[in-house]
Protein backbone atom coordinates (compact mmCIF):
# COMPACT_ATOMS: atom_id res chain seq x y z
CA UNK A 1 0.00 0.00 0.00
CA UNK A 2 1.45 3.33 -1.07
CA UNK A 3 1.00 6.27 1.28
CA UNK A 4 0.41 9.55 -0.52
CA UNK A 5 2.28 12.52 0.94
CA UNK A 6 0.10 15.53 1.65
CA UNK A 7 0.49 18.57 -0.57
CA UNK A 8 0.73 20.66 2.58
CA UNK A 9 3.82 18.75 3.73
CA UNK A 10 5.33 19.16 0.26
CA UNK A 11 4.72 22.93 0.32
CA UNK A 12 6.25 23.21 3.79
CA UNK A 13 9.30 21.22 2.66
CA UNK A 14 9.82 23.40 -0.42
CA UNK A 15 9.43 26.66 1.53
CA UNK A 16 11.85 25.45 4.24
CA UNK A 17 14.39 24.37 1.62
CA UNK A 18 14.27 27.85 0.07
CA UNK A 19 14.82 29.38 3.51
CA UNK A 20 17.90 27.20 4.00
CA UNK A 21 19.13 28.07 0.50
CA UNK A 22 18.70 31.78 1.28
CA UNK A 23 21.00 31.40 4.29
CA UNK A 24 23.83 30.54 1.89
CA UNK A 25 22.82 32.73 -1.07
CA UNK A 26 22.11 36.16 0.37
CA UNK A 27 20.83 37.50 -2.98
CA UNK A 28 18.06 34.90 -3.28
CA UNK A 29 15.50 36.91 -1.31
CA UNK A 30 16.26 39.98 -3.45
CA UNK A 31 15.33 37.97 -6.55
CA UNK A 32 12.22 36.26 -5.15
CA UNK A 33 10.64 38.72 -2.70
CA UNK A 34 7.64 40.80 -3.69
CA UNK A 35 8.74 44.22 -4.88
CA UNK A 36 6.95 46.77 -7.02
CA UNK A 37 10.09 47.93 -8.81
CA UNK A 38 10.46 50.77 -11.25
CA UNK A 39 12.57 53.86 -11.64
CA UNK A 40 13.65 55.63 -8.49
CA UNK A 41 15.95 58.61 -8.00
CA UNK A 42 19.01 56.40 -7.74
CA UNK A 43 18.28 53.95 -10.56
CA UNK A 44 16.01 51.23 -11.88
CA UNK A 45 15.01 48.47 -9.50
CA UNK A 46 13.53 45.25 -10.93
CA UNK A 47 10.16 44.13 -9.65
CA UNK A 48 6.60 43.36 -10.67
CA UNK A 49 6.23 46.68 -12.51
CA UNK A 50 9.29 45.90 -14.63
CA UNK A 51 7.96 42.53 -15.78
CA UNK A 52 9.00 40.22 -12.94
CA UNK A 53 5.49 38.82 -12.45
CA UNK A 54 6.89 35.61 -10.97
CA UNK A 55 7.47 37.55 -7.74
CA UNK A 56 3.71 37.44 -7.13
CA UNK A 57 4.20 33.73 -6.37
CA UNK A 58 7.82 33.39 -5.26
CA UNK A 59 7.20 35.72 -2.32
CA UNK A 60 5.85 32.65 -0.47
CA UNK A 61 9.31 31.08 -0.68
CA UNK A 62 10.95 33.94 1.25
CA UNK A 63 10.88 34.68 4.96
CA UNK A 64 12.49 37.37 7.10
CA UNK A 65 13.84 35.11 9.84
CA UNK A 66 13.42 31.76 11.56
CA UNK A 67 10.54 32.97 13.75
CA UNK A 68 8.68 34.25 10.68
CA UNK A 69 9.26 30.95 8.87
CA UNK A 70 8.28 28.86 11.90
CA UNK A 71 5.04 30.71 12.59
CA UNK A 72 4.01 30.59 8.94
CA UNK A 73 4.83 26.88 8.59
CA UNK A 74 2.94 26.02 11.77
CA UNK A 75 -0.10 27.90 10.45
CA UNK A 76 0.29 26.27 7.02
CA UNK A 77 0.51 22.83 8.63
CA UNK A 78 -2.55 23.48 10.81
CA UNK A 79 -4.85 25.11 8.27
CA UNK A 80 -3.40 23.61 5.10
CA UNK A 81 -3.96 20.00 6.09
CA UNK A 82 -7.55 20.81 7.02
CA UNK A 83 -8.27 22.67 3.76
CA UNK A 84 -6.58 19.89 1.79
CA UNK A 85 -8.74 17.26 3.51
CA UNK A 86 -11.93 19.26 2.93
CA UNK A 87 -11.35 20.23 -0.71
CA UNK A 88 -8.89 17.66 -2.04
CA UNK A 89 -5.42 18.26 -3.49
CA UNK A 90 -6.32 20.05 -6.73
CA UNK A 91 -8.82 22.48 -5.24
CA UNK A 92 -6.49 23.04 -2.29
CA UNK A 93 -3.67 23.99 -4.66
CA UNK A 94 -6.02 26.34 -6.53
CA UNK A 95 -7.06 27.96 -3.24
CA UNK A 96 -3.45 28.30 -2.05
CA UNK A 97 -2.10 29.74 -5.31
CA UNK A 98 -5.17 31.89 -5.96
CA UNK A 99 -5.00 33.34 -2.45
CA UNK A 100 -1.29 33.96 -2.87
CA UNK A 101 -1.89 35.81 -6.14
CA UNK A 102 -4.67 38.01 -4.71
CA UNK A 103 -2.60 38.69 -1.58
CA UNK A 104 0.43 39.67 -3.65
CA UNK A 105 -1.59 41.92 -5.96
CA UNK A 106 -3.18 43.66 -2.97
CA UNK A 107 0.21 44.11 -1.35
CA UNK A 108 2.13 45.32 -4.37
CA UNK A 109 -0.51 47.69 -5.73
CA UNK A 110 -2.06 49.01 -2.50
CA UNK A 111 1.05 49.09 -0.32
CA UNK A 112 4.27 51.08 -0.38
CA UNK A 113 6.21 50.57 -3.59
CA UNK A 114 9.72 50.78 -2.19
CA UNK A 115 9.63 47.95 0.36
CA UNK A 116 10.47 44.27 -0.16
CA UNK A 117 7.70 42.02 1.11
CA UNK A 118 8.30 38.42 2.15
CA UNK A 119 6.33 35.43 3.41
CA UNK A 120 3.53 32.98 2.73
CA UNK A 121 1.07 34.52 5.16
CA UNK A 122 -1.17 35.99 2.44
CA UNK A 123 -1.80 32.48 1.13
CA UNK A 124 -2.26 31.20 4.69
CA UNK A 125 -4.91 33.85 5.31
CA UNK A 126 -6.51 32.54 2.13
CA UNK A 127 -6.72 29.13 3.77
CA UNK A 128 -8.55 30.71 6.71
CA UNK A 129 -10.93 32.37 4.25
CA UNK A 130 -11.48 29.00 2.57
CA UNK A 131 -12.28 27.37 5.91
CA UNK A 132 -14.79 30.09 6.68
CA UNK A 133 -16.39 29.70 3.24
CA UNK A 134 -16.57 25.92 3.65
CA UNK A 135 -18.15 26.37 7.08
CA UNK A 136 -21.21 24.25 7.65
CA UNK A 137 -20.95 22.60 4.22
CA UNK A 138 -17.94 20.65 5.43
CA UNK A 139 -18.89 20.02 9.04
CA UNK A 140 -16.06 22.08 10.57
CA UNK A 141 -16.49 24.19 13.68
CA UNK A 142 -17.16 27.67 12.27
CA UNK A 143 -16.71 29.28 15.69
CA UNK A 144 -13.15 27.95 15.87
CA UNK A 145 -12.43 29.32 12.40
CA UNK A 146 -13.87 32.74 13.28
CA UNK A 147 -11.79 32.76 16.49
CA UNK A 148 -8.65 32.02 14.48
CA UNK A 149 -9.51 34.74 11.97
CA UNK A 150 -10.08 37.30 14.73
CA UNK A 151 -6.86 36.32 16.51
CA UNK A 152 -4.83 36.57 13.32
CA UNK A 153 -6.36 39.92 12.37
CA UNK A 154 -5.49 41.27 15.83
CA UNK A 155 -1.90 40.02 15.42
CA UNK A 156 -1.76 41.54 11.91
CA UNK A 157 -2.66 45.00 13.14
CA UNK A 158 -0.75 44.77 16.44
CA UNK A 159 2.73 44.00 15.15
CA UNK A 160 4.45 46.71 13.11
CA UNK A 161 5.78 45.70 9.71
CA UNK A 162 3.16 43.05 8.94
CA UNK A 163 1.63 43.55 5.51
CA UNK A 164 -2.06 43.76 6.37
CA UNK A 165 -2.94 44.32 2.71
CA UNK A 166 -1.58 40.89 1.80
CA UNK A 167 -3.41 39.28 4.72
CA UNK A 168 -6.77 40.85 3.87
CA UNK A 169 -6.26 40.23 0.14
CA UNK A 170 -5.37 36.59 0.73
CA UNK A 171 -8.35 36.09 3.03
CA UNK A 172 -10.76 37.57 0.48
CA UNK A 173 -9.17 35.54 -2.33
CA UNK A 174 -9.34 32.27 -0.39
CA UNK A 175 -12.92 32.90 0.68
CA UNK A 176 -14.03 33.71 -2.89
CA UNK A 177 -12.29 30.72 -4.47
CA UNK A 178 -13.56 28.28 -1.82
CA UNK A 179 -17.07 29.69 -2.13
CA UNK A 180 -16.99 28.93 -5.86
CA UNK A 181 -15.64 25.38 -5.57
CA UNK A 182 -17.38 22.66 -3.64
CA UNK A 183 -15.76 20.73 -0.80
CA UNK A 184 -15.39 17.07 -1.56
CA UNK A 185 -17.65 14.65 0.29
CA distance 62 to 67: 13
- Residue of 104, 121, 138, 158 marked active site: 121
The reply to whether 49 belongs to the active site is no
Give the length of the chain.
185
Residue 72 CA: distances (Å) to CA of 60, 64, 92, 179: 10, 11, 17, 24
Say if CB 131 and CB 145 are below 8 A apart. Answer: yes
Choosing from 104, 107, 138, 167, which is the catalytic residue? 167
Q: Are 98 and 173 in contact (CB under 8 A)?
A: yes
Which ranges of 25-163 would DSSP assign to H, the alpha helix?
28-32, 55-58, 66-75, 81-87, 89-110, 121-138, 142-158
Question: Is 31 a residue of the active site?
Answer: no
| Active site amino acids | 121, 167
Amino acid sequence: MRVQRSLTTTLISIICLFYIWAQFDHTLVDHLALFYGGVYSNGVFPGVSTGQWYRLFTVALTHANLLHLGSNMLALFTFGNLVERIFGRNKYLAIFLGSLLVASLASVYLGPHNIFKVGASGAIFGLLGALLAAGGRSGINSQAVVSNVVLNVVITFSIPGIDWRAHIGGFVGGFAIAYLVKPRR
